[in-house]
C-alpha cells in the first residue's frame, strides 16, 4: 500500500514537471546551461558557408559572422511556435544587438509572406533566406530551431522548440560569451 502511494506521488510530480510550462521552463533554465556547455559542438568553416538573401537587411554569407557571437534561428511564417517566440526574440534583439549578431533564416517560406509578417508586427530583427545548402550540423529537423554560437563557433545553446528568449538565463549566456 505504501509503495502504491509513493508511486502515485512520483507520477504526479513527474506529470507536473512535464505538463506545467512554468515549472518545466524554470527547471530547464536552471539545468540547461550545464548540459549544453558539456556537450558543446563547434561549427566548422564549411558549416558557415551559407549564402543569405537579406529580407530587411543586405545580402551576406554566414561566414561573415565567423568569430562573432551569433543568435541563429531557423523559422517560418507558417509555423505557430515560430510566430509565438518572435516577440521575445525582438526584445532580446533590442537589448543585445550591440553584442550579438542576429540571423533569422526563414525556411520554406515566400519572400512576400516574410515581408508582410515583419511589417505587420514591426519586427526589425535581421531576416534572411538561405540561397545555398545548409550543413547537416545546422539544418533544422523541427521548427523553430535556434543556436547561440560563441566567437569560436561553439554551439552554446541549441533549442529545437519554442522558447522565451527574453529571460535572465539567456541574457547571462550572452554576457558570458561576449567577454
Q: Between these two residues, 71 and 178, which has the higher pLDDT value?
A: 71
Report the predicted TM-score, pTM, of the whole model to 2 decimal places: 0.79
| 43, 138 Cβ separation under 8 angstroms | yes
* CA torsion through residues 166, 171, 173, 177, sign: positive
Model confidence pLDDT, tens digit, residues 101-137: 999 999 999 999 999 999 999 999 999 999 999 999 9
CB atoms within 10 A of CB 166: 18
Cα dist from 63 to 21, 46, 108, 117, whole Å: 36, 9, 22, 27
Residue 32 pLDDT > 60: no
Residue-level pLDDT at 36 = 45
Cα dist from 142 to 43, 50, 55, 81, whole Å: 19, 19, 22, 10
Helices 168-177 and 80-96 cross at an angle (nearest 10°) of: 50
155-159 and 51-54 beta bridge pairing: unpaired
Residue-level pLDDT at 13 = 72
Model confidence pLDDT, tens digit, residues 39-50: 568 899 999 999
Residue 56 pLDDT > 90: yes
Residue 35 pLDDT > 60: no
What is the side-by-side order of every strand in the sheet holding 101-106? 60-61, 51-54, 127-130, 101-106, 70-75, 145-149, 155-159
Residue-level pLDDT at 30 = 58
Residue 3, C-beta contacts closer than 8 angstroms, at least 6 positions apart: none
**Segment 53-80 mean pLDDT:** 97
**Confidence band of 175 (pLDDT split at 50, 70, 90):** confident
Residue 95 pLDDT > 50: yes
Closest CA to 73 of 130, 137, 126, 145: 145
Amino acid at each position: 500500500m505504501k509503495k502504491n502511494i509513493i508511486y502515485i506521488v512520483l507520477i504526479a510530480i513527474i506529470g507536473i514537471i512535464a505538463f506545467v510550462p512554468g515549472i518545466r521552463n524554470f527547471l530547464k533554465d536552471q539545468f540547461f546551461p550545464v548540459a549544453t556547455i558539456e556537450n558543446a559542438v563547434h561549427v566548422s568553416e564549411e558549416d558557415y558557408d551559407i549564402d543569405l538573401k537579406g529580407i530587411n537587411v543586405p545580402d551576406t554569407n554566414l561566414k561573415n559572422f565567423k568569430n562573432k557571437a551569433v543568435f541563429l534561428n531557423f523559422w517560418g511564417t507558417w509555423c505557430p511556435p515560430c510566430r509565438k517566440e518572435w516577440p521575445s526574440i525582438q526584445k532580446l534583439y533590442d537589448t543585445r544587438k550591440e553584442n550579438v549578431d542576429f540571423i533569422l533564416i526563414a525556411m520554406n517560406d515566400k519572400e512576400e509572406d516574410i515581408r508582410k509578417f515583419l511589417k505587420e508586427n514591426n519586427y526589425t530583427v535581421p531576416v534572411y533566406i538561405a540561397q545555398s545548402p545548409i550543413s547537416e550540423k545546422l539544418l533544422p529537423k523541427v521548427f523553430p530551431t535556434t543556436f547561440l554560437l560563441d566567437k569560436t563557433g561553439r554551439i552554446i545553446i541549441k533549442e529545437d522548440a519554442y522558447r522565451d528568449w527574453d529571460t535572465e538565463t539567456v541574457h547571462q549566456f550572452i554576457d558570458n560569451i561576449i567577454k
